[in-house]
Amino acid sequence: MDEQTEKSVSDIRTLARSIARSVQIMEVCGTHTVSIFRNGLRALLPDNVRLISGPGCPVCVTAQRHIDASIELSSLEDVIVATYGDMVRVPGRLGNLERQRGVGADVRVVNSARAAVRLARENPTKQVVFISVGFETTAPASAAVILEAEDLAIQNLTMLTAHKLVIPAMLALLADGEVPVDGFLCPGHVSVIIGSDAYRPIVEDHHIPCVVAGFEPRGILAGLAMLLRQIADADARVENAYETAVTPQGNEVAQRLMKKVFAVSNVPWRALGVIPQSGLDLAPAYRHFDALVRFAIELGEDLDHPQCRCGEVIQGKVNPNECHLFGTTCAPTTPIGPCMVSSEGTCSAWFKYNRPSQATRATGTEVKK
């Protein structure tokens, strides 16, 4: 253990003792969730400090209607569907993209929106549809690709956009009020784009401490120590434990790109329904890049598995092991809900990195309500 880690862990223990009550900290981002589990950080925390996972896994928050639309698009002739890896396994009403590929659909896994442009240029006789999901981390790249496609007059590229915004989701959780949150560990990558000032409404209007942290265990522990100090002092400020990458203003070039190409709109979230002003649609000037428009596809309804509790998991309302499907019907090889599919999903992390006693279904509830 390096010195800084040791100091953070010792600070966390001292502060937790002085707070002398149970505190609940939400790590908003799926990458944090995975890093916390992968590095075994929960084992280092005192009993009265609980971490709950929030709505920051791009795959997990994607509404089923978008998954269904992507499957429908993949079944069209001469269409190549390009998507980030995790999306291919998420079950919709009609199977998933991986199975579509098995029956002959052309589904390609790409690591960036730019790869979709390359696909479009390499396959001039095909239509390429990029499934554009993610938070503010991926949206600017999608925006840049739209502008490039417009510049180069690329006729065979469209996007199915299902981008989400982090702050409205956090505010919606607070407005719902069902899960008490004593502090937010705010996502590193998203904050690079939106800047740490973006969390001001949360500290100012709701008096909840916010600390931005990177994804290394050292950064996460430093962030948790900062949060506990604020909680101990009954303070609520935005602090930045990731100053090497995150500024108060964020990346203004990326913000301008998003603003130009997308319009903030009311969008559906997995199992949460439509949250006002919580996502991005293509702005009217770029609607011709909308795959739903080009292929005249209408978004259907979400028919989530009745017993799947992913919706509550992404709001921190229940732990994965409180879901009746967890570890039995729903496992990484046979996922029912997106939180088990995604490598960033809370259920997947619980299943992969916990001892079986913790990873199998619990009867009691561990989340404080």
Partner 1 sequence: MTRVGVRQQSETCIVRAHGGGGELMNKLISEHIISAFGNTTLNQLTDGAVLPAETSRVVITTDSYVVDPLQFPGGDIGRLAVCGTVNDLAVMGARPLGLSLGLIVEEGFELARLDQILSSVAKAAHEADVRIVTGDTKVIEHSGGSGIFINTSGVGSLDDRINIGLDRVEVGDAILVNGTIGDHGMAVMSVRSGLEFDTDIRSDAAPLNGLIHELIDAGVDIHFMRDATRGGLAAVLVDICEQSGLGVEVDESELPRDPIVRAAAEVLGFDLLTVANEGKVVAVVPQDQADMCLGLMTRHTRGRDGAIIGRIVACDLPLVELVTESGGRRVVQRPYGEELPRIC
Residue ranges binding partner 1 (CB under 8 A): 1-2, 5, 9, 30-31, 34, 37-44, 58-59, 84-89, 109, 111-112, 115, 133-135, 137-138, 189-190, 215, 217-218, 221, 332-333, 342-344, 352-356, 359
**Smallest separation (angstroms) from partner 1 to the CB of 175:** 25
Give the Cα separation of 243 and 44 in Å (integer).
Answer: 24
- Reference 29, options 248, 287, 212, 255; nearest CA is 212
Residue nearer to partner 1 on the CB measure, 91 or 217: 217
Residue nearer to partner 1 on the CB measure, 113 or 203: 113
Structure tokens at 133: 């999901």
Amino acid type, 261? V
Answer for the pair 157, 175: CB distance below 8 angstroms, yes or no: no
Residue nearer to partner 1 on the CB measure, 179 or 341: 341
Residues in contact with 151: Cβ distance below 8 Å, sequence separation at least 6, in sequence order: none
Residues in contact with 267: Cβ distance below 8 Å, sequence separation at least 6, in sequence order: 63, 162, 163, 164, 274, 275, 278, 279, 280, 281
**Smallest separation (angstroms) from partner 1 to the CB of 190:** 8
**Smallest separation (angstroms) from partner 1 to the CB of 237:** 26
Structure tokens at 134: 């993610």
**Smallest separation (angstroms) from partner 1 to the CB of 207:** 29
- Reference 45, options 37, 53, 55, 34; nearest CA is 37
Give the Cα separation of 149 and 145 in Å (integer).
Answer: 6
Residue nearer to partner 1 on the CB measure, 190 or 198: 190
Amino acid type, 102? G
**Smallest separation (angstroms) from partner 1 to the CB of 142:** 12
Residue nearer to partner 1 on the CB measure, 104 or 177: 104
